[in-house]
Amino acid sequence: MGLQLVQVNFKARDDAALGRFWAQALGWGVSSEGPGVTNVEPVGFTWPDPAAVCVDVVSVPDPETVRYRAHLDLATTSAAHQAELVARLKELGATPADVGQGDVPWTVLADPEGNVFCVLEPREIYRDTGPIAAVVVNCADPRAMARFWGEAVAWTVHEAGDDFARLRSPKGVGPYLEFIRVPGGGSVWTRVHLDVLPYPGEDQAAEVERLKELGATLTDVGQGDVPWRVLADPEGNEFCVLRPA
């Protein structure tokens, strides 16, 4: 059955504080699997489930400050909801951000540690995604990225072109995974990355080998002796293959 896309992982100076921000932003709850890790997921959620891609915040001594390739888009249901959500996020510590977006109908903000995200205007396609409309990645070749990730996690490709690609769980639930072409591809995906998990009964090592055959490469980010494996996709974006519980 392969792999499940289970969470977006944020590196942070203060995992508890940033985790609280995202929990309040999304209306989710928080828990912790150990020191330095804050898990953000829907209340009553049984992990993993494609109905939600969760947020894991991990404390590191000095998170890099780079131009991130991956960010979250938040969904809204009306213009009033968008305005209310933006105002509430600012009260929680978010700040306006300018990434060269110009005059657009969505609002670009940065969380308390500077991670940029977007609060979208109402869009019919995101009406049933939950609070996270999409995980968005800047890249050089959206079509190739959709092909790799579609095969990696067996998500359905809904759109794939030279400038934009969109995938979603075949169950038709949860957020989309989207790729947007940016000339040059941007900087390496360092502070925000994806975590994938083998399905029950699947072998982590076998899945790593399958990903390598699809074009992924093993990478060393100083992780040391850990139960997960760190790889990079064909454009160099780091991601982790977790070990099944």
pLDDT, tens digit, 9 for 90 and up, residues 7-62? 999 989 999 999 999 999 999 999 998 899 999 999 999 989 999 999 999 998 76
Residue whose entry in the numeric block shows the structure tokens 């939600």:
52
pLDDT at 187: 47
Spell out, as residue ranges, where the chain has pLDDT lower than 50: 187, 189
Q: Which pTM does this prediction carry?
A: 0.93
- Joined tokens for residue 66: 């780079």
Report the pLDDT value the prediction gives residue 191, as an integer from 0 to 100: 75
